[in-house]
Amino acid sequence: MTPPNPQLRIAALDALSKRVNKVLAEARQEAEPGFATLRASGVKQLEVALPSGEVVGTISIKAGQETVTIDEDKLLAWVESNKPDEIDYAVSPSALTRPDVVAYVRKLYPDLVGKKIKPAYRAKLLDSLDDDGQLVNETTGEVVQVRTVTRGKPTGAFALTFETAKKGKPNGRDQIANAWQSGDLSLTDLIRPAIEAGEQS
């Protein structure tokens, strides 16, 4: 077969790459539900191996998203009980329209005043929480739960990493390329659906 001229080669590779990338995105999306089930059952990684059994990479399945919730009311109550000097008084924005409020708001309009922990102390306090997200009341010894952490269900999101090159052994990407060139791995079966699917949008 006569090698294609440069312009045809560029155009062909461009057209095929877009279709292959589309199918790659679909393949990742289709794999995620199954990966999510595996991650929920405790499987964190999957090996990527050639038909010969040679490991060329790893699929690392991500855990569900972690959500941290701070109980602001309990945190404020703890600071009021243990470190009241770390409380700032915040004036409601609606109070700022009254000229006599700024200096005397706490005395004249207590309903317009809210409380908040000083930012620096709040950050320090949260950093000092134990592994269970608890604070101990320094006066009463009461344990207060101010932070909870919830883990969402795994979505199946994952990361692919290839084996790095080692002495006498190429990296994972090169091993795949070598397997293709030697005929041990048929990329035709992998790419054909993309070629036949065409540009679908």
Tens place of pLDDT per residue across the chain (201 aa): 565 566 666 766 676 777 788 888 888 999 999 999 999 999 999 999 988 888 999 999 999 888 989 999 999 999 999 999 999 887 677 776 766 766 676 777 777 777 889 999 999 989 988 888 999 888 888 898 999 988 888 888 888 888 898 888 888 888 888 887 787 777 666 666 555 655 554
CA distances (Å), origin 180, targets 2, 58, 188:
22, 19, 10
Residue 147 structure tokens:
């932070």
Please give the full DSSP string across 119-165, using - where no structure is assigned: HHHHHHHHHT--TTSEEE-TTT--EEE-EEEEEPPP---EEEEEPPP
Q: Strand pairing of 113-117 and 45-49?
A: unpaired
Residue linked to tokens 């036949």:
196
